[in-house]
Amino acid sequence: MQLTLNLNGTPLHEEIAPDTLLLDFLRAHGCKSVKRGCETSNCGLCTVFLDGRPILSCSFLAARADGHEVTTLEGLQEEAREFAAFIADQGAEQCGFCNPGFVMNALALFRENPDPDEEEIKEYLAGNLCRCSGYEGQLRGICSFLKWKKQGGRP
């Protein structure tokens, strides 16, 4: 079947199998940040934006993205780099495998709620699992990023 979508600003028109998952489609199109961390819709590692809203690409048919805009971490490089530096500063991660999904969903949070409190941060990111850390470093990183943003985002 035919699929037409916009991927990170580039229009695509492709022939796909009807049961292709969005995750596999994206990886086949060079978006290697999109990973499968579980097989059960639980880990959040496969998070991408569909028309700006975060979804699980492992549990979404590529066919359903027809006519829509899909954004992956590859399409948000600048925004992501700025934020990820604060996570790195805290030494929050160990293996870093969870990072792409976590960064995507954190960016989704900041778009929906630019000034979240700790409870709101924890609630929004509850669906992003990390097997190495205790989430404390990530939380500190988010809080210092938000503080920095509030102060005008200067070094």
Ligand X SMILES: Cc1cc2nc3c(=O)[nH]c(=O)nc-3n(C[C@H](O)[C@H](O)[C@H](O)COP(=O)(O)OP(=O)(O)OC[C@H]3O[C@@H](n4cnc5c(N)ncnc54)[C@H](O)[C@@H]3O)c2cc1C
Residues in contact with ligand X by CB under 6 A are 40-42
Residues that bind ligand FES (CB under 6 A): 36-38, 41-46, 56, 58, 93-98, 130-133
Please answer whether residues 21 and 61 qualify as being in contact, where contact means their C-beta atoms are separated by less than 8 angstroms.
Answer: yes
The residue whose Cβ lies closest to ligand X is: 41
Q: Give me 134's structure tokens.
A: 């205790």
Beta bridge partners of 21: 61
Transcribe 16-82 into DSSP letters.
--TT-BHHHHHHHTT-TT-----SSS-S-TTEEEETTEEEEGGGSBGGGGTTSEEE-GGGGHHHHHH
CB of 49 to ligand X, least distance (A): 19
Q: Between residues 4 and 38, which has the closer beta carbon with respect to ligand FES?
A: 38
Per-residue contact string for residues 91-130; x = within reach of other proteins by CB under 8 A = --------------x--xx-------------xxxxxx--
Contacts to other proteins by CB under 8 A: 1, 18-19, 21, 39-42, 44, 47, 50, 53-56, 59-61, 63-64, 105, 108-109, 123-128
